Structure 1
Amino acid sequence: MSLSTRYTPSETEKKWYDHWMEKDYFHSEPDEREPFSIVIPPPNVTGVLHMGHMLNNTIQDILIRRARLMGYNACWVPGTDHASIATEAKVVKMLREQGIKKSELSREDFLKYAFEWKDKYGGIILDQLQKLGASCDWKRTRFTMEPKLSDAVIRVFVDLYKKGKIYRGLRMTNWDPSAKTVLSNEEVIHSEENSKLYYLRYKIEGSEDEYVTIATVRPETILGDTAIAVNPKDERFMHLHGKKVLVPLIGRPIPIIADRYVDMEFGTGCLKITPAHDMNDYEIGQRHNLEVIDTLNEDGTLNEAAQLYVGEDRFKARKMITRDLDEAGHLVKIEDYKNKVGRSERTNAIVEPRLTMQWFLTMEAFAATALEAVKSDEVTFYPKSMWNMYNSWLKEENVKDWCISRQLWWGQQIPAWYIDDKTFVAESAEEALEMAQKETGNKNLTINDLHQDEDVVDTWFSSWLWPLTVFDGFEEKNDLAYYYPTNTLVTGWDIMFFWVARMIMAGYEWSEELLGKEITDKKGKQPFHDVYFTGMVRDSKRRKMSKSLGNSPDALSLIENYGADGVRFGMLSSAAAGNDIIFDAPIDPKTGIVLNESKLCEQGRNFCNKMWNALRLINSWEVVDEPADATTAEINKLAGDWLEQKMNRIIGQLDQQMKEYRLSDSIMDLYKFIWFDFCSWYLEMVKPEYQAPIDRATLERSIALFEKMMILLHPFMPFVTEEIWHQLRDRVEGDDCIVSKWPEAGMFDDHFIDEIELAKDIVSGVRDVRNNNGIKQKELLKVHGQASKELSELLDSDGMKSMVMKMAVLESLDMTEETIDNSVSFLVKTHKFFVELNQEINKEEEFERLTKELEYFQGFVQTVEKKLSNESFVGRAPENVVALERKKLADGMSKIKNIQAALADLES
């Protein structure tokens, strides 16, 4: 069957993915092989595939596919996160559109709607990952709120409570008025925003016209003020110590207090104290025993305690109170002001500090354990530079107790039951009742007498157990004992503390309890050995790609346009570990909308077509069983030996790069080897003359080399490699690229490889002369090399001279001691060659052409040298980018040397 002229991803990707699924290649069960396991960072059930997912999961797929090829029992566990805040918001919105209010539903009814929503939409992103080629063990798909995983969360909560590590208390917390729940510090994103600074006058109680002036960015909070503070060393206000002022508009008298926290240089030196609505004010209030007046409802509207603007949204109230303060003579002035504003990571709502009763997990001991795990290299970070951020976050002085309760219904309900002033934490209501009956001495108590805590645990409190719970570690230990610790975690650095550190904490807390000391002493307690941190995917303006900014192309449209392999190549080619990826999707200048286009992905698609054309070329050759003539056989053997040895060297490089997670280097090395060495050189070396056949031995060796390359490339570009694998020869059942054997790095001779590279440079030099002088490609030329021992030895080796003559289309290639008249010269390293021309050389035109070429390359070299002299570029750019610039410099310098030599010949 003839092959199409171009590789068509749409015709192959579904075919091969279905085939892999049908053959059950992705599924893993414990056996005698060594395991290689990865757990997916579970995407939210609300999510759809975006560029960050594409990068992260492509990397995981590369690791798992290579492990499979290397003979490991490869297991990649997929799953989704229930995402409490985001999902509840989606469900509430859906209900609102149906005319249903959450407040009108029971908890059970709401959860029924939520699970229906999850069942309908929650698996979309996993289906999309299949289009990317993700070879997850779909039979092991998990969900953080499925029964077994929820049971583990409850068990862990109770265990920590019994250990005295979980407590309940009244604390100042971050409140999201949109989601109507508390947030941990890590879920609040602080950024500088344009604000207003309002200067307000408070009248001194009992005076006629004496005032103190304060500055605030939130004038609506004055209704909760309970003091004005000044620095005890500030001489301007010493006469006011012990006096009182009246809160504007409502006239409530509050004291003037002295506290060292007050910055004498900020604003007026007087600070309004609102303990219910500011973290620092609350601490000052505790020191001075101040009243706490909470003026906000959970949705950010003002409550009865505010006395004014009751029921109004906080920002509307801000405008109203500013107007009223101005009319009452209390507004002194308003200034433009930049300050740090905290917003909810999930809803983008401005967060309010609020005093609430919450559940907390003490973190000091956990943090120390997680810090030591990485410090001792039991968990290794790639790149190593991520240690600095991790170390900073987990230092004792920076660690705060983790607020683990959320005011939501979607999630695992906190296993605490109350009766009167007593709290009972248990794994079930029945167990809590038994505890209550025993403590109260009242055997007549029933479950209906107990009231369970309404809150749920933080989503991260379930996902920190992920490496333990996906293998049902809290139920039975067989799978956990086999697959744990996992090998590699691939994730973004932005959830290093949210998730990575906490998983490490959980692993060290429970793995020994679940598996036994004998197993953990042998295998370790850590949840994973390595953590590979990806960078952020950014647009050409270096902005993080996001749906809200509209600067992210549609992932599925990119796959449709370029094929999954093309997109995978595009993502990986610029994805050095830890470095942000500048993805080149252009923005329409007219609409400002990002286009589903990419030069990087186009390069990947072109790579597929290059290999496809190589396949078509090989398949087009007529094959004969008779051996080739002596000269052809020498050339073919030389070409095959060179490519095989160079591939052996590449395999060794790949093995080392993969250990260091230098995947971008790996894909580019493979790209250059396959595109240039195999397609552009090797196939030209062994290609038979027009309409001539090829001997079977050379064809079989070419196919074998092509097959080996497809295995090496398969983890990176699985679909095109599987298709070419099956097109190269007839296959028996089960002979698929995905389950073939990763090649071992065989022997290679650097000197021999360098000799071939030198011969290739000679061919390239002749081809340049042809192009520069308008000589037809098929015209036979005479070439003379300036005699030297090294050059003679090179051309005397078996097949070398014949190969150069074939590739350069030469009539002759010999040595000379003299300069050849009417010739054009070129240099290859230190070797000089002369190409005889059949036409007279116009020396003036040639001199002018070479001079222009010299000026161009001198300017080019100067630009590259300037870039490489920039320490910031060399220090921050990915290694492969810096290496490419250095190669450009070396090539440019070599070109200058050749041109200068040619100019010297013209002048002689």
Structure 2
Amino acid sequence: MTDLPKTFDPGAIEARWYAHWESAGRFRPERPDAQPFTIVIPPPNVTGSLHIGHALDNTLQDILIRHARLQGKDALWVVGTDHAGIATQMVVERQLNERQQKRTDFSREAFIAKVWEWKEESGGTITRQLRRLGASCDWANERFTMDEGFSRAVIKVFVDLHREGLIYRDKRLVNWDPGLRTAISDLEVETKEVQGKFWHFSYPLADGSGAISVATTRPETMLADMAVAVNPEDERYKALIGKQVRLPITGRLIPIVADEHADPELGSGAVKITPGHDFNDFEVGKRAGFKPADMLNMLDADANLIQTADGLIPDDLLGLPGSVARASVVERMEALGLLEKVEDRAIQTPYGDRSGAVIEPWLTDQWYVDAATLAGPAIAAVRDGAIRVVPETWKKTWFNWLENIQPWCVSRQLWWGHQIPAWYDEDGTPYVAEDEAVAQALAGNKKLTRDPDVLDTWFSSALWPFGTLGWPDQTTALSRHYPNDVLISGFDILFFWDARMAMQGLHFMKEVPWKTLYLHGLVRAADGSKMSKSKGNTVDPLGLIDRYGADALRFTLTAMESQGRDIKLDEKRVEGYRNFATKLWNAARFAQSNGIGASATIEPPAAQLPVNRWIVAETVKTVQALDLALADLRFDESANSIYQFVWATFCDWYLELIKPLLGPESAAAEAAETRAVAGWVLDQILVMLHPFMPFITEELWHALGERSYDLILAKWPMADARAIDPAAQAEIDWLIRLVGEIRTARAELNVPPGARLPMIVRDAQPRTEARLGAQQAALARLARIESVTIGGAATGGAAQIVVDEATFVLPLEGVIDLAAERSRLDKAAAAAEKERDSLGGRLSNPSFVEKAKPEAVAKAREDHAAKSAEADRLRAALARLG
């Protein structure tokens, strides 16, 4: 047994134990014959740093993996990082820019070499930070989405899907990010409301018989208009369908087409159609008979105007950004007398979530996955229960998105990433193959050029549950650990990653990738607002670890993780759970000083004393509650169960109740039994608490005695109901309730702490009388009861307490000034009632509830509840005095 320092210092403990666990291989013990349990980490970007969302996500995973390990399972937590195509390329390009260099100064191979160089030097930041959090991943087998084995899996998936007709090349509109010069997905687009204008133009009919009015928020795109659409049922325009208008500025002729996209109730009812630069217009254009290859594009990769057809763009506008050309187009329309009016309007504008550039719908050739076909089995898996979604409320979102899924654009115009395995001949025909030699064999003697694009990062990470286990090779790890057991994920990547893993896993493995999908909420600021750097309200988890320890942060996040709700993180909660760790530390020091050490048995020791039989039963009940909560993934309930048991049941009550049994005046047999039981319970606490607070528990495990194994490899307690003694439980529960009521009464009535009071007991049944006799010493010490008299009446004022059938009377004559105390309580209760009623009046006023800020209404409700409780408490105290 090692004497514990007086002060709990988490910093030194954490660094020492993590290094020991990792170097000793404790995270992946050899258990080939045990039941497998598998979690894959949502691979963080190799460019990333630990943020509070990572801390929540990985804490929850670590709890499950440590719990499974303690249960003796073959627990595998697959760890690795994502190559993060766009983010990583941006980081490296930014470094080049600082040296007055740019990517295009290098060959593709030379640039990629620089990225790998950066990865080796700086790409391990987040994995080092995960270690500080206590994440017990299988670091010995860390994966990277660009490592050789995983890259082989990515190429095979692409080639196989292409051969099956599920990947194809098509000319379609994409979200083009001119800042990054690449296509991005819908999920990487952020829509913001900006103040703009709505221009109304007049387009002359080609036959000179009149004009038709259209409106637009992007006047420059009129240069690439290909039609004007009207609703086929709109009587105003039926006669015009099939006619042509002469496009102002350039004079091109475009048709008037009938399409239900045109809403007769909106604006003039006529809509300009630019299929090369608007997603809705693209669909209208296809219905009107325009082939995508014939649709007009007027922008280059930088979103500057270019000439793609004779006479499309006036020469003086060529090379201008679209936003700059806009003013010139409007001026020309006004000069032609064709500008009807201009309105101010709030416009929903798309931006790239990484570049911040305005996104342009851009017509280009890209590679697409037939997501609708792959989505079918993923929909069925959730509907049939093969994938359990927790909370279930997310199932509706899952179905809605997958049932309406669009083709998935998987090509990106980057250099860093998995280069698409396609080679083109001089006619542009693609040959998709595992390598160039196979492609050349398919093409014969034709000269081939490789597709320069890379795959969307999410394409590769969709293979994570099986690609990390060695697929396409049929490895032992794959056969044992696929499907995974649980995926812990933020709901915000449900579509980016979770659904795509389900699609690919079901297609290639013919099984779901994981049996359970747990979606947690966001970590928000203490006031409930979303954290953002611009607001200055982000929380650095590493800073919290520095101040309070990783255990305290982990426990805070777990205790606040309630299914279907976001977390409002208040640093005071972290401080509070640091105090919880300190309380456990002090309990262990108390144990050491009283000869309580490591238990010699896994089974509970034999016990005769009610207090010891009670604590054994309470321990078993806590194991039962923990097992149930963790099985249901109710993390907050699991944390609350162990917290209440440690703080209240064990520290506040049991250790207090057994103090007399540990003294020199106690019988040797009783003292020995109590030390054995207390040591056993403390061991069970350390095991149960270990998944939540791994560092302090491992430290205390070894400090309490010589151990043949580390706590991380201990055995999870058995919830053996045979250890529950109802009679002992009932007796000690009664004692705790009685002492608690006496303490409350003394505090409410300002009884001096040192005053010892007599107690008169009325209406007690024989069982209560027997308990009073057995527990008189505890009542004397814990409740300051001088004597107990069965029957009789108190003279003068007294406090009355009712517990079960009996009334317990505490005479107070001469102990306190009864009249002054009645007056104090009455005034305090009246003041609380006045504030309660005032707040109640505000809350019953619809004007306040509807118009005040939500946080003000919430605060008023909080205060009203507090004042109501205070008033009730004070009136109850007054009633005690009779």
| Residues 267-318 of structure 1: CA deviation (Å, up to 9, x unaligned) | 2222111111012212222233455221111122222343353222233333
Specify the alignment match of 1:31 in structure 2: 32
CA–CA separation in structure 1 for the residues paired with 2:572 and 2:11: 20
User: 2:521 is matched with which residue: 535, 538, 554?
Assistant: 535
User: 2:463 is matched with which residue: 462, 465, 469?
Assistant: 465
- Say whether 1:828 aligns with 2:803: yes
Higher mean Cα deviation, 695-704 or 569-578? 695-704
Higher mean Cα deviation, 283-292 or 428-437? 283-292
- Say whether 1:430 aligns with 2:437: yes
| Residues 401-445 of structure 1: CA deviation (Å, up to 9, x unaligned) | 2222112121111111121333221101111111222xxxx4xx5
| Residues 530-550 of structure 1: CA deviation (Å, up to 9, x unaligned) | 111111112234333244553
1:740 partner letter: A
Specify the alignment match of 2:254 in structure 1: 254
Specify the alignment match of 1:595 in structure 2: none
Specify the alignment match of 1:781 in structure 2: 757
Shift of 1:679: 1.3
Specify the alignment match of 1:601 in structure 2: 574
CA–CA separation in structure 2 for the residues paired with 1:676 and 1:840: 30
User: 2:563 is matched with which residue: 574, 577, 580?
Assistant: 577
1:708 partner letter: Q
CA–CA separation in structure 2 for the residues paired with 1:207 and 1:314: 30
* CA RMSD, 1 decimal: 3.3
DSSP 3-state at the match of 1:254: strand
Higher mean Cα deviation, 311-320 or 638-647? 311-320
CA–CA separation in structure 2 for the residues paired with 1:501 and 1:354: 26
- Say whether 1:496 aligns with 2:469: no
Shift of 1:470: 0.7
2:681 partner letter: L
* 1:614–1:472 distance in 2 versus 1, CA, 3 Å: same
Specify the alignment match of 1:298 in structure 2: 301
| Residues 78-105 of structure 1: CA deviation (Å, up to 9, x unaligned) | 1011111222222222222222222332
* 1:455–1:623 distance in 2 versus 1, CA, 3 Å: closer
* 1:900–1:458 distance in 2 versus 1, CA, 3 Å: closer
CA–CA separation in structure 2 for the residues paired with 1:693 and 1:816: 32
DSSP 3-state at the match of 1:300: coil
CA–CA separation in structure 2 for the residues paired with 1:492 and 1:760: 42
CA–CA separation in structure 2 for the residues paired with 1:761 and 1:563: 35
TM-score (norm 1): 0.86
User: 2:622 is matched with which residue: 642, 645, 650?
Assistant: 650
* 1:230–1:606 distance in 2 versus 1, CA, 3 Å: same
Specify the alignment match of 2:512 in structure 1: 526
Contact 1:645 1:746 in 2 (8 A): no
User: 1:808 is matched with which residue: 776, 780, 783?
Assistant: 783
Q: Which runs of 5+ in 1 are unaligned?
A: 513-524, 585-597, 625-633, 874-884
Higher mean Cα deviation, 356-365 or 252-261? 252-261
Specify the alignment match of 2:657 in structure 1: 685
Contact 2:800 2:880 in 1 (8 A): no
User: 2:550 is matched with which residue: 564, 567, 571?
Assistant: 564
Specify the alignment match of 1:710 in structure 2: 686
* 1:693–1:34 distance in 2 versus 1, CA, 3 Å: farther
TM-score (norm 2): 0.89
- Say whether 1:483 aligns with 2:503: no
Specify the alignment match of 1:618 in structure 2: 591
2:588 partner letter: L
Q: Map of 1:729-878 to 2, 5 A cutoff?
A: 729=705, 731-732=706-707, 734-747=708-721, 748-749=724-725, 752-789=728-765, 792=768, 795=771, 799-828=774-803, 831-837=806-812, 839=814, 841-852=816-827, 854=829
Contact 1:301 1:313 in 2 (8 A): yes
Q: Which runs of 5+ in 2 are unaligned?
A: 598-605, 850-860
Specify the alignment match of 1:360 in structure 2: 368
Shift of 1:195: 3.5
Contact 1:176 1:350 in 2 (8 A): yes
| Residues 849-899 of structure 1: CA deviation (Å, up to 9, x unaligned) | 3335655787899999999xx9xx9xxxxxxxxxxx99x999988994895
* 1:889–1:785 distance in 2 versus 1, CA, 3 Å: farther
CA–CA separation in structure 2 for the residues paired with 1:341 and 1:751: 69
| Residues 107-129 of structure 1: CA deviation (Å, up to 9, x unaligned) | 21121112112222221111100
CA–CA separation in structure 2 for the residues paired with 1:904 and 1:613: 36
1:735 partner letter: Y
DSSP 3-state at the match of 1:304: coil
User: 1:544 is matched with which residue: 530, 542, 546?
Assistant: 530
2:140 partner letter: K
Contact 1:622 1:693 in 2 (8 A): no
2:306 partner letter: N
DSSP 3-state at the match of 2:271: strand
Shift of 1:38: 0.7
CA–CA separation in structure 1 for the residues paired with 2:384 and 2:10: 46
Shift of 1:691: 8.4
Specify the alignment match of 1:518 in structure 2: none
Specify the alignment match of 1:284 in structure 2: 284
Contact 1:200 1:215 in 2 (8 A): yes
DSSP 3-state at the match of 1:229: strand
Specify the alignment match of 2:15 in structure 1: 14
Specify the alignment match of 1:402 in structure 2: 408
Higher mean Cα deviation, 310-319 or 37-46? 310-319
Higher mean Cα deviation, 799-808 or 102-111? 799-808
* 1:315–1:56 distance in 2 versus 1, CA, 3 Å: same
User: 2:418 is matched with which residue: 408, 412, 418?
Assistant: 412
DSSP 3-state at the match of 2:187: helix
Specify the alignment match of 1:220 in structure 2: 220
DSSP 3-state at the match of 2:452: coil
Shift of 1:39: 0.6
User: 1:666 is matched with which residue: 634, 638, 641?
Assistant: 638
> What is the count of residue pairs matched by the alignment?
842
DSSP 3-state at the match of 1:573: helix
- Say whether 1:370 aligns with 2:381: no
2:322 partner letter: R
2:762 partner letter: Q
Contact 1:382 1:533 in 2 (8 A): yes
DSSP 3-state at the match of 2:542: helix
Contact 1:714 1:721 in 2 (8 A): yes
CA–CA separation in structure 1 for the residues paired with 2:58 and 2:78: 12
2:675 partner letter: L
